[in-house]
Every structure is written in C-alpha cells, then in structure tokens.
Amino acid sequence: MSDANIREKYFVYHLTSVENLDGIFQEGLKPRASLENFTDVADSEILRKRKALNLDRYVPFHWFAANPFDGRVQLSRPKEKFVLISVFRSFAKQNDWKIIPRHPLADDAIQLLDYNAGFEAINWELMSTRDYQNPECKSVCMAECLSPEMVNPKNFSRIYAPNDEVSSLCEAKMRVAKLATPISVNPGMFL
C-alpha cells in the first residue's frame, strides 16, 4: 500500500499538546465544549466559527498526520511538544462518528455526514496529492472525522511522538494513569 493512498489507511489522528495528556489519560479525549483547563492549540477565530456551527461538541480527528492543521499549529508553537493520538477508523465507523469531507469552514454550510456517506464523499485522490498550494486540495486535506462523544483512552490505538524525549514523557504519564497504549516514535509525522 502506497503512503499516498490515504483512503486505505487504518487510523484517524488527533494532534494535542503534551500538556493535555494528564487530563486526556484520566478523563478521555473530550469535545472542546466539555473542556475547562487545557492547552488550546487551535486558532481563536476558527474556534469561534466552529462553536457557532456546534462543532465544538465533537472531538475532531484528521485522516493523516502532518496535514495543514497539524503543520500550522506546530509552526505557530515551535517550543511546544505535541503528540498524535490515533484511533482505528473501524472504531469510528462502528460508533457512528460523523465526517465533514472538506475543511469545515471552507463553505457557508458544512456537510456533516454519517460515516459511510462521508467516507465516500471525500475526494481521496485529490487528498492523496497533498498539494497545499491548491486551495481545493488543502481544504480536502482538512476533512474531519468527528466523535460525537468523549473518546476513552482504552480506545486509543497508538500514540505517536516526534522523538524519544516526548515518548518517555508519554510513557511516564501513562504509568500514572495505568494505561498501556502503544507509543511509537515517528519524527516524519511531525514538523
């Protein structure tokens, strides 16, 4: 399977600051509307628009790592440490997650679809080109898979860290929370 064939991959990904892991490991990955004390990595203007569309009631995941959102967040916070939390796409499908087939703020009205319809609505061929200079491609690359409820840490498939230091920090936090999610170091998934 080619790395460019995003449609055939197994996971969806959520980028978060390492500072959020204690809360995530103890209480789960929650929708923004349910959060209080956390390090927010998203742009405040985008957050206002997401809230107006009630998208703050979902936990957003992307279809591949190092997408335009991940890149922007990491570039705007160069001293912060990040991890990617992955969940199996099959879990998302079984639990009736929703899909927005392009950037949720790309159009006046969002297209919030059931998993199967949303999966088929994504332009996978365009997404796989990852041409961020092409506005349409960039928008498709920011398609989202949305959990309508908290994602329990026992349902995380793997956590990806950019280096051994962050991996060790994750392992320590997981020991405290009594979790055993696999961790992989993969610098290629980060800037």
Q: What is the pLDDT of residues 142-191, one digit of tens each?
A: 999 999 999 999 999 999 999 999 999 999 999 999 999 999 999 999 98
Residue 50 counted as an annotated binding residue: yes
In a domain, 120, yes or no: yes
Q: Which domain holds residue 159?
A: 6-163+172-189
Cβ–Cβ < 8 Å for 24, 101: no
**Backbone phi and psi for residue 34, each to the nearest 5 degrees, phi listed first:** -100, 0
> What is the four-CA torsion angle of 165, 166, 172, 175, rounded to 10 degrees?
-140
75-111 burial, b for 16+ CB within 10 Å, e for fewer? eeeeeebbbbbbbebebbeeeebbbbbbbbbbeeebb
Q: What's the domain count of the chain?
A: 1
- Catalytic residue positions? 50, 144
Beta bridge partners of 15: 84
169 is in an annotated binding site: no
Enter the pTM of the model.
0.92
| Dist. CA 184–CA 162, nearest whole Å | 9
Q: Which amino acid, 33?
A: A
**pLDDT tens column, 35-83:** 776 656 666 667 777 777 788 899 999 999 999 989 999 999 999 999 9
Give a yes or no: residue 19 inside a domain. yes
Asked whether residue 1 is domain-assigned, the answer is: no
Task: Confirm whether residue 118 is marked as ligand binding.
Answer: no
Residue 110 lies in a domain: yes
Any binding-site annotation on 129? no
Q: What letter does residue 128 receive in the DSSP assignment?
A: H
